[in-house]
Amino acid sequence: MSIVRRAALSLALLLTVPTLVLGESGKDFKPVNEFIPENWVSIKLGPVDMGISKAVAYLWIAAALSIGVAFWIRGGLKTHPGRFQAFVETFYGFSETNIGRATLPTASYTRWFPYVASLFVFIWTMNMVSFLPLPFDTEHMWHGIPGLTIYAATSNLGVTLALTLITITISHVEGVRANGVRKYLGSWVPDTGMSGIGGALLKGFLIPLEVLSQLLRVISLSVRLFANMLAGHLLIIMCLAFCVLLGNVFIAAVGVPVAVAFYLFEWGLVASLQAYIFAMLSGIYIGGAIEPHH
């Protein structure tokens, strides 16, 4: 059995056994509750609650890892890189070639590549951390010690929506800065190749669709990441929950291996793919706003 499979199986056991012990015959275990973070500390600023929850804790962990590793690597670069530095350089090269150069105009590459690369690293780190069993399950306590759980900050729509609004705001601001208000908004008017009343009517029909497509970018960019990470983690926990809810060892013999398979698929492919798609689309939206006719 490979190291990865052993780690995944250990994760399944770590998440399943405490729940079996803590729950009343496992009947009080509700997997969906794992993705409804409640504030541990309430910090109200008028009508807005800026409290600290499980999602905020995972955001802090991902931010600390992203920034800390970056400074650590920067201070210890070697002419002959080791395995870790080689991995980081490959990661950087992938970001530069497949995200930055592929989506951003040459003139604005220097300005906005750091943003899309940081976005890729931050989301990728959040997704990777989400598969580590951490003691943040405050619903199931053992002598005051929180249980282990897996949770993705990106499975919180508020997190993905905030990242999306930053990208969309940047794209419109840069579009106006590079082209001016009139020319930028004029790029939203499709060229139908028709003149006269027919062309005017067609434009009158297409312009609202173009405006709607701009609004739908917010939904598609935020919901895609949110839905994929939420669904993946729910599948893993639901497979483990079968043996808890049904209390049957034969169900556990099926549920745990299936959970391990989902875990490996989500960790090995989906987490990285979703980070890449989000960063790439962000680059496309920013680049498309700066040079709308290219």
User: How many C-beta atoms lie closer than 10 Å to residue 241's C-beta?
Assistant: 23
Q: Is 129 exposed, middle or buried (0-12, 13-18, 19+ CB in 10 A)?
A: buried
CB 272 within 8 A of CB 94: no
3-state DSSP call for residue 98? helix
As given in the structure block, the two tokens for residue 228 are 């994929």
CB 275 within 8 A of CB 120: yes
Mean pLDDT (10-residue bins), the chain, 294 residues: 49 47 48 70 75 87 91 74 79 89 90 94 94 79 74 91 95 92 81 63 74 88 93 83 64 75 89 95 93 67
**pTM across the whole model:** 0.82
Q: Quote the pLDDT of residue 293.
A: 63
3-state DSSP call for residue 144? coil
CA–CA separation, 272 vs 279, rounded Å?
Answer: 11
Q: Quote the pLDDT of residue 159.
A: 93
User: How many C-beta atoms lie closer than 10 Å to residue 131's C-beta?
Assistant: 21
3-state DSSP call for residue 158? helix
Residues 133-152: pLDDT tens digits?
Answer: 888 876 666 667 777 788 88
Find the helix or strand (DSSP H, E) in which 145 lies. strand 145-149
CB 190 within 8 A of CB 203: yes
Domains of the chain, residue spans: 3-187+216-290
CA–CA separation, 11 vs 266, rounded Å?
Answer: 14
Bridge partners (DSSP) listed for residue 137: 147
Closest CA relative to residue 186, chosen from 205, 207, 212: 207
CA–CA separation, 60 vs 237, rounded Å?
Answer: 23
Q: Quote the pLDDT of residue 115.
A: 95
As given in the structure block, the two tokens for residue 231 are 């669904």
As given in the structure block, the two tokens for residue 15 are 């998440």
